């Protein structure tokens, strides 16, 4: 807020400033002057402060640290928004459905659901989108080029953002989001939200043809396809096997082609999927996080517990008592 007084400096647009230096910086918006240039990439800026923030992209400096989870940020504004994850604060409310958001940009994107606005249009096929990121992803579908390669598993991506997200989710160890019911940690808020349904027993996805309800949307899609013949099967071009999910087909084709991108650091054994690698790595770990509820024996893998329960003597004795 600016205090209007006789000492205030007024710009061409009528905006007032308390110092001459602030007025000079503001006037560059109208003149287009950008006298501060990045020595690394040459990008110009209107103020030294903006150049300082930009330079952190090249230096990797992240001076703003979250006291809750230790995550660091280049800008204080990013830290402010991030803190709302821990506090649960959502100051931006949709005027139509009253849904709340932690960021103004998320509210803007959400409001397009009600207005039907799709401002991002691809000229080649005339398809329009509500978010610029969706347009970028769609544009890459028109090109078979995937120039960005993961340095850890050599998977290829159409954009640098997709590659960075892949590294964070697949190869990263940071899990800043925890379940308030069981304490389990997650890498993203979306994964946490899905997990909480296990505790609440919520099944928000209902079939429009029958009374069946499902906890996951992917399970509903599979049900519609298998029970009501609604949707599209994904068919393997090698053996004609059908799948209800495209990711399952991709993994299946990898097995035909012998593609094993995921390598164990301990024994160099290779796997088709990251999930298979994670399951295998438990062999090399001493952690036994699964326990038989009847005899108390500990196991490294869930499947080992299931096999054990079938022949556990305490289970047999318990069943005889019933």
Chain-centroid distance, C-alpha 190: 7
122-133 burial, b for 16+ CB within 10 Å, e for fewer?
beeeeeebbeee
pLDDT value at residue 81: 86
Q: 215, 223 in Cβ contact below 8 A? A: no
Q: 225, 244 in Cβ contact below 8 A? A: yes
Is-same-fold flag (1-61; 234-284)? yes
Residue matched to tokens 């039907």:
116
- pLDDT tens for the chain, 322 residues long, are 344 444 466 666 777 877 787 788 788 878 888 888 888 888 888 888 888 888 888 888 888 888 888 888 888 888 888 888 888 888 889 898 888 888 888 888 888 888 888 888 888 778 888 888 788 777 777 766 777 888 888 788 877 878 888 887 878 777 778 888 888 888 888 888 888 888 887 888 888 889 889 888 888 888 988 899 888 888 999 999 988 888 889 889 988 888 888 888 888 888 888 888 888 888 887 777 777 777 888 887 777 878 887 777 765 544 444 4
Residue 270 CA neighbour count, 13 Å, CB half: 8
- The angle formed by the CA atoms of residues 270, 275 and 279, to the nearest 5 degrees, is 80
Calculate the dihedral angle through the C-alpha atoms of 117, 118, 120, 123, rounding to the nearest 10 degrees: -120
**What is the model's pTM?**
0.40
Q: Which of 53, 102, 109 has the alpha carbon at shortest distance from 81?
A: 102
C-alpha span between 233 and 241 (Å, rounded): 10
Per-domain boundaries in the chain: 1-61, 234-284, 290-321
Q: Which CATH architecture has domain 1-61?
A: 2-Layer Sandwich (3.30)
| CATH fold group of domain 234-284 | Double Stranded RNA Binding Domain (3.30.160)
């Amino acid at each position: 807020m600016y205090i209007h007084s006789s000492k205030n400096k007024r710009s061409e647009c009528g905006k007032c400033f308390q110092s001459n230096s602030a007025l000079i910086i503001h006037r560059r918006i109208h003149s287009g002057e950008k006298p501060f240039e990045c020595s690394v990439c040459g990008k110009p800026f209107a103020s030294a402060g903006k150049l300082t923030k930009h330079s952190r992209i090249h230096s990797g400096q992240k001076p703003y640290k979250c006291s809750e989870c230790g995550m660091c940020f280049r800008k204080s504004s990013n830290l402010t928004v991030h803190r709302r994850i821990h506090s649960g604060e959502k100051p931006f409310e949709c005027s139509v459905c009253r849904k709340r958001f932690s960021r103004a940009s998320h509210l803007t994107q959400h409001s397009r659901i009600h207005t039907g606005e799709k401002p991002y249009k691809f000229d080649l096929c005339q398809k329009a989108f509500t978010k610029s990121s969706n347009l970028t992803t769609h544009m890459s579908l028109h090109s078979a080029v995937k120039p960005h390669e993961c340095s850890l598993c050599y998977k290829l991506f159409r954009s640098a953002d997709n590659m960075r997200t892949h590294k964070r989710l697949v190869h990263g160890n940071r899990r800043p989001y925890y379940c308030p019911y069981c304490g389990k940690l997650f890498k993203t808020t979306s994964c946490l939200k899905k997990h909480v349904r296990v505790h609440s027993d919520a099944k928000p996805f209902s079939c429009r043809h029958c009374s069946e309800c499902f906890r996951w949307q992917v399970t509903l899609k599979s049900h519609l396809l298998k029970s009501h013949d609604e949707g599209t099967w994904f068919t393997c071009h090698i053996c004609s096997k059908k799948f209800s999910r495209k990711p399952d087909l991709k993994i299946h084709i990898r097995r035909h082609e012998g593609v094993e991108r995921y390598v164990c650091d301990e024994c160099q054994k290779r796997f088709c999927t990251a999930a298979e690698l994670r399951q295998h790595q438990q062999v090399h770990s001493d952690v036994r996080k699964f326990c038989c509820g009847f005899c108390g024996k500990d196991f490294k893998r869930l499947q080992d517990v299931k096999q054990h329960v079938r022949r556990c003597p305490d289970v047999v004795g318990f069943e005889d008592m019933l």
